[in-house]
Amino acid sequence: MKHTLLVELLTEELPPKALSRLGDAFAAGILHGLSTRAFVDADASVTAHATPRRLAVSITGVLATSPDKQIREKVLPVSVALDKEGQPAAPLTKKLAALAAQAGRDSIDLSELERAPDGKAESFFFSYTAPGQALATGLQAALEESISKLPIPKVMSYQRPDGETVQFVRPVHRLIALLDDQLIPLQLLGLQSGRTTLGHRFLSKQAELTIASADNYAATLETEGLVIASFAARKENIKAALLAAAGTDQILMPESLLEEVTALVEWPVVYECNFDPAFLSVPQECLILTMQTNQKYFALTDAQGKLRSRFLIVSNIATNDARHIIGGNERVVRPRLSDAKFFFEQDQKKKLIDRLPGLASVVYHNKLGSQAQRNERVVALAIAIAESLNADASMAKRAAQLSKADLLTDMVGEFPELQGIMGTYYAQHDGEAAEVATAIGEHYQPRFAGDALPATRTGTVVALADKLETLVGIWGIGLAPTGDKDPFALRRHALGILRMLVEQRLPVSISHLLAQTVKQFAGNANFSDPSSDVQNFMHDRLRGLLKDRGHAQDAVEAVVAQAPDRLDDIVERLDAVKAFASLPEAASLAAANKRITNILKKNEGVLTEVQPALLTEAAEQRLYGAMTDTRSAVDHAFASGDFAATLKALAALRDDVDAFFNDVMVMAEDPALRANRLALLNALHAMMNRVADISKLAA
């Protein structure tokens, strides 16, 4: 018979940013521990509960006793177990006594043992049925394993009333362990299991709640204790209440803030508050960030995205008269907004250009110098990239010069997340050109996967320069990403560069960008040119980027295998490969191309120009003629950028290629014939792979 299990740890307030992970890990750990001990089936359902003061889990389909287990255990090799007369030796006698105790028997006779080979020699084996364990035994072990593996940010040591020192994320005051309505005797963290817990600290209808059975745990907490135990349910409750309170306004509800607020309350109630509209003269990003970061409030905007002076809070108190709660929160937020206003006004008293000397005192990296030195490299690189892209080099120079100046402002010092954003506001205040001001904010883009790219050409130029300087500079001092470690976010920088090159179809090569970047580190003894490794790294990131965009893996491999240096036409190449792959001739040509690739790899260094006079076989003559006839169509289509037509033209060669491999011995005994046939294949290989390496399409 299967039952419902409940386990709860009642604690002091748990760290809110870790609560969701702790709750999930606690539940998953116990389920795993019970599963490995055969107390639950694969179809058992588990519900994780996590509130500011508790971690709990409910599991259905739990057995009170695990099934009996058939065990076949190796005893000893026969040569060790028996003496010269074939009688049990002392090691066997000792081993059988231990096995008897393990199997719950008084003794085990030699006749009960199985004699069988174990792969090396004959050994004795003993088979027996081990009785199932009681749930209390298995749960005790599973619970101890689970809490030992919890993702605890910082372990806390504390002393129990009886003097025992315990370690956990926060002090634990009660332990519940129930199987249906039966108490399971457990000991953990200095506690004995029981069936009582506490409800909401202020709203609970009873000082102490008794959980009658595992099945009504959540309902009892909600109706009697005014606690929504499920983290997920509480989160959805908050989300719905916020949306309802927002009305026609748009609510700014970042997932991280929603998660954190969910972890701070047990009985969420949403209230509306207001701040002085005079603060709206401050850039709204500053106000929004201070409300979210410092106060955990939800800002509201109108339909056009303009910040409103009203905001929403999530309280842990339900009351018919919320004036004190609302008033208290409005008083608390005022000094925060006043600080933001003060920082903004003070920062505007000094122009960005006048802050540049201060970058010399900010260390970028001890092997790469100060932020001022980095800024010089980015400026020079931005000018070079602008010239390569026929962009306005003077705009790029000015935007690059000012791109990091806002790091020295009070606002960015308080809120580093606003770097770039504040630079744009301050540049506008200083009277900088609109494109320069915009580029200062855009040069951080894309900041994360899926983020927008810079919208201006100057922003794109400075963004490329900034990311290339970081990628090449950090790699060049020996700090390339390893495994899952990437402290300088070089993968993100590489992906950002690739997205700009691909999505904005920038007519510039990767090798040119890397060469221009490496040039900026001339004279730095700590730096070694990493261009080759960085280019390979970028092509690996390109594979992932294109696959994530929905392109077929074999098409991606066909295009990227050629290590494309320019990416402005890569989408057309992928589309052409896709169209070619659908042709009836594609499979045969791809297989032939793969064969040619392997032949040429084994004969590098012996390739020459094709000598028509040495083409003695009819099949090779026909192939050469077909290649000559097709070449002009291939060259014209490729030159015009029509990659689909380039590959389609190759389809006409299929029959002649097949005939060549059927009728011609490539590796002829005559060195001249052999070299000429290899030259023919080399020319065919070059013609076939101008758009992509079609051998990658071979099955």
DSSP symbol at 43:
T
Which among 54, 66, 317, 62 has a CA at the least distance from the CA of 211? 54
State residue 72's pLDDT score: 87
User: Which structure tokens are listed for 458?
Assistant: 């100057």
Which among 227, 254, 276, 251 has a CA at the least distance from the CA of 50? 227
DSSP 251-320: E---HHHHHHHHTT-SS-EEEEEE--GGGGGS-HHHHHHHIIIII--EEEE-TTSPEEEEEEEEES---S
What value does the mean pLDDT take over residues 623-634? Answer: 92
Instruction: List, for residues 436-447, the tens digit of each pLDDT value.
Output: 999 999 999 999
What are the beta bridge partners of residue 224? Answer: none
Sign for the CA dihedral angle at 599, 603, 609, 611 comes to negative
User: Which structure tokens are listed for 18?
Assistant: 């870790």
Please give the C-alpha separations between residue 118 and each of 78, 87, 88, 501, 684, in angstroms, as whole numbers. Answer: 11, 21, 19, 62, 59
Distance CA 315, CA 336 (A): 19
> Tokens 């976010």 correspond to what residue?
489
Q: Is the pLDDT of residue 83 over 90?
A: no
**Backbone conformation region of residue 163, classed left if phi is above 0, alpha if psi is from -120 to 50, else beta:** left
Instruction: List, for residues 177-201, the tens digit of each pLDDT value.
Output: 999 999 999 999 999 999 999 999 9
What are the beta bridge partners of residue 60? Answer: none
Going by C-beta distance under 8 Å and a sequence separation of 6 or more, which residues neighbour residue 445?
Answer: 451, 452, 453, 454, 459, 463, 496
Task: Supply φ then ψ for residue 115, to 5 degrees.
Answer: -105, 115
Q: Is the pLDDT of residue 500 over 70?
A: yes
* For helices 671-688 and 618-639, angle between their N-to-C axes, nearest 10 degrees: 30
Which among 402, 470, 501, 414 has a CA at the least distance from the CA of 442? 402
Percentage above 90 pLDDT, the chain: 82
Output the CATH code of domain 353-550.
1.10.3210
State residue 691's pLDDT score: 92
Which is higher by pLDDT, 117 or 9? 9
Compute the CA torsion angle 199, 203, 205, 206 (nearest 10 deg): 50
Which is higher by pLDDT, 607 or 169? 169
The SS3 call for residue 121 is coil
Task: Tell me which of 67-76, 453-462, 520-529, 624-633 is least confident.
Answer: 67-76
pLDDT tier, 105 (very low <50, low <70, confident <90, very high otherwise): confident
The SS3 call for residue 190 is coil
State residue 605's pLDDT score: 65
Instruction: List, for residues 31-51, the tens digit of each pLDDT value.
Output: 999 999 999 987 889 999 999
Distance CA 195, CA 131 (A): 29
Distance CA 342, CA 338 (A): 6
Report H helices in 504-641: 510-519, 531-548, 553-560, 570-581, 586-602, 618-639
DSSP symbol at 229:
-
Instruction: List, for residues 657-694, the tens digit of each pLDDT value.
Output: 999 999 999 998 998 898 899 999 999 999 999 999 99
Please give the C-alpha separations between residue 525 and each of 359, 493, 533, in angstroms, as whole numbers. Answer: 22, 24, 19
DSSP symbol at 82:
B
The SS3 call for residue 163 is coil
What value does the mean pLDDT take over residues 262-267? Answer: 97
What value does the mean pLDDT take over residues 18-31? Answer: 96
Q: Domain segments of the chain: what residues?
A: 2-66+135-224, 69-130, 231-347, 353-550, 570-697
Q: Is the pLDDT of residue 607 over 70?
A: no
State residue 119's pLDDT score: 77
Task: Tell me which of 259-273, 416-430, 585-599 is least confident.
Answer: 585-599
State residue 128's pLDDT score: 83
Instruction: List, for residues 369-389, the tens digit of each pLDDT value.
Output: 999 999 999 999 999 999 999
Q: Is the pLDDT of residue 74 over 90?
A: no
Q: CA gyration radius for the chain?
A: 36
State residue 151's pLDDT score: 93
* CATH class assigned to 570-697: mainly alpha
Instruction: State how far Cα 91 lies from the chain centre.
Output: 55
Element at 128 (helix H, strand E): strand 122-130
Distance CA 651, CA 427 (A): 58
> Tokens 């109108």 correspond to what residue?
302
Q: What's the start-to-end Cα distance of the chain, in Å?
A: 52
Going by C-beta distance under 8 Å and a sequence separation of 6 or more, which residues neighbour residue 239?
Answer: 253, 258
Distance CA 9, CA 175 (A): 5
* For helices 135-148 and 19-36, angle between their N-to-C axes, nearest 10 degrees: 140
